[in-house]
A and B are shown apart, each in its own frame.
Chain A
Amino acid sequence: MRMIFFGGLRRRWPEHLLVALVIAAIVTGLGALRGASSAAEAEVHDLAHRLGRNMLLLPADTDPADFYAQRYRGGLPDSTPESIRASPAGAHVSSMEARLYGNLDVRGTQVIVVGEDAGWAAPPDGAIPVVVGEAAARALGLQQGASLEVKGERLIVTAVAQQPPDGLDTALFVPLSAAQRLLGAPGQLSAIRLAGCWCRVDVRALGTRIESAVPGSRAITVAALLEAQKGTVDVVRRYGALLHLAAVLLVGALVAALSLSGARRRARELGLLVAIGAEPATLGGLLVLEAALVGLAGGLLGSLAAGPATRWLIGAAAGSAPSPSVTLVLGAAALSALAATLPARHAAALDPAASLRETAT
């Protein structure tokens, strides 16, 4: 039977290859979809994990889009952290980073000044310590230990940061009080970052409570963003289920058609095999096995192509995508076998005499 099985496969290789390639394309598409969807989901989870613990408190009249476009304005009093700590909401906040952002012209170059309380070591001679972002250092010709004069204040570069906070490599990072002096905004803050273990609290409700504790403030949380993203992922998953169903139907119809046409074309050969002693059920099994092998080959090819396809679809984010599922490969083989079952049973039930008699008398 091995001779017949492999001989049949060899003889009809173009059809088998074509069907295997179509199955491979379908598996590639499904694999890439799964990969992209999983990567998006992983990204949302990662975002939730990283940002879900944080909250950004801005002056109420600040548009977050302006804030992220580095168009800063003051607004919150620098007593805000104390107000929050004193409020019932403060119990949930483990750390606060008060910041003052502003734009300043230094030696003819526009830079961002970021004031923050980050445990600064005081340099000698009452100079202001400054950490300079790499781009700003390049633009201003600064390196570690250099000093510069800004608005009558002497600043000493304590470090040039290659990876400055928030990616602000055009910024000068200075103590909060120094920033308030340099930017002419005494007692003011642009933003406060709040962090805490908020796994068991409603972060949006907490934001509202903090807004109440600090009138004129606006709490930006990632919860709403995450909900929207989860919604998107859910929609993709729902359509993914429909696509899977369509793929199952397509592969099933294709393999059934292949098996049926194969059984019809090989009716004489199958009739002969029955006449010389093969069992019809065994021949039916061969057709099913043949279809399963085509499905398996298509599944394997598709799973190999799914990785590059995912990378092509979503680029670098594909790194977090899981490798194509074994279920898809085995599913393609099992589905192909299942789809070939009816044609195989039909072929096994054919009257061999009818297919063998060319001159029936």
Chain B
Amino acid sequence: MIQIQNVTKTFQSPGGGEVQALAAVSLWIGQGEFLAVVGASGSGKSTLLFTVGGVSAPTSGSVRLGERFVYDLPPSERAALRRTDVGFVFQTFNLVPYLTTLENVMLPALLQGRSRPDAEAAAMGLLERLGIATRRAHRPSQLSVGERQRAGIARSLVNGPKVLLADEPTGNLDPVAAAQVIDLFRELNDEGQTLVMVTHDPLLAERARRVVRLEAGAVREDRPGREQRRAS
């Protein structure tokens, strides 16, 4: 479903030199997988996630999502692909502060061109499923961090994406809320949702079905998650 082929990504460092964030990464992520990407700070985890999501073009190599090579698409089609095929969940939630919870969740649907009633119905369904429907009229600053992350997850799901990309989704949460998020991811994955989660927490990573460890921008390990191994 997702094919990452020889992807390298190089940044210009503020000092003038070059920093290689990804070094010839190749990965195949199948439909319905739950993949955890782990690694130390600066190992290229988030860069890989944004590259897969069509947000940050690789310096070389290719990313294929379904039948389409993401970075061969013109900008408008790539934007459309991000709307329909990709959902992002962030560590710091990135909710728009002046919109209500409901409006934040509706936003990708409205960008997709869906009618307001349709977008509202889809958003409300997700808010109910995630247990924050009563907080729909609240602004992000009025929500707890756990509620904010659930709102962020609802937003990422509203257009029914093919893949959910989560960047340290539990990084700002207490252990209970973090466990709830991972339970939710597992539940979504059980329903067939493809998930790629970046985390630096090895225990959480082990709840994924597959764990990839990056080191200095390269894949050093690619193995099943512990729970997956136990189950098999």
Contact = CB atoms under 8 A, between A and B. Distances in A.
B83 A276 contact: yes
Given A3-B99, A7-B98, A279-B76, A353 B43 contact: no
A268 B103 CA distance: 18
Contact of B50 (A268, A269, A272, A357): A357
A357 B75 contact: no
A361 B107 contact: no
Contact of A276 (B41, B56, B108, B198): B108
B62 to A, nearest CB: 18
B184 interface: no
B171 interface: yes
B167 A269 contact: no
Interface in A80-135: none
B90 interface: yes
Interface string B79-123: 110111000101110101111000100011011100000000000
Contacts of B194: none
Given A268-B94, A272-B96, A275-B88, A359 B46 contact: yes
Contact of A275 (B75, B82, B168): B82
A356 B83 contact: no
B137 interface: no
A351 interface: yes
B17 to A, nearest CB: 17
A353 B40 contact: no
Classify the interface of chain A: helix, strand, loop or mixed.
helix
A50 interface: no
Contacts of B88: 275-276, 356
Contact of B79 (A8, A271, A279, A360): A279
Given A277-B79, A278-B79, A352-B55, A360 B98 contact: no
B224 interface: no
B107 A275 contact: no
Contacts, number: 98
Contacts of B80: 277
Contact of B96 (A269, A275, A352, A358): A269
A61 B4 CA distance: 104
Interface in B187-212: 198, 200
Interface in A267-285: 268-269, 271-281
Contacts of B103: 3
A8 B96 CA distance: 10
- Most chain A beta-carbon neighbours within 10 Å: one of B43, B53, B79, B84: B79
Nearest to B45: A361
Q: Please give me the 8 A-B residue pairs with the lowest Cβ-Cβ distance, nearest first.
A: A277-B83, A353-B50, A353-B56, A7-B98, A277-B82, A361-B45, A272-B94, A11-B98
Interface of A: 1, 3-4, 7-8, 10-11, 268-269, 271-281, 351-353, 356-361
Interface of B: 39-47, 50, 53, 55-56, 75-76, 79-80, 82-84, 88, 90-92, 94, 96-99, 103, 107-108, 110-112, 155, 159, 167-168, 171, 198, 200
Given A275-B88, A361-B43, 9 more contacts: A1-B110, A7-B96, A269-B96, A276-B82, A277-B80, A353-B56, A356-B94, A359-B41, A361-B45
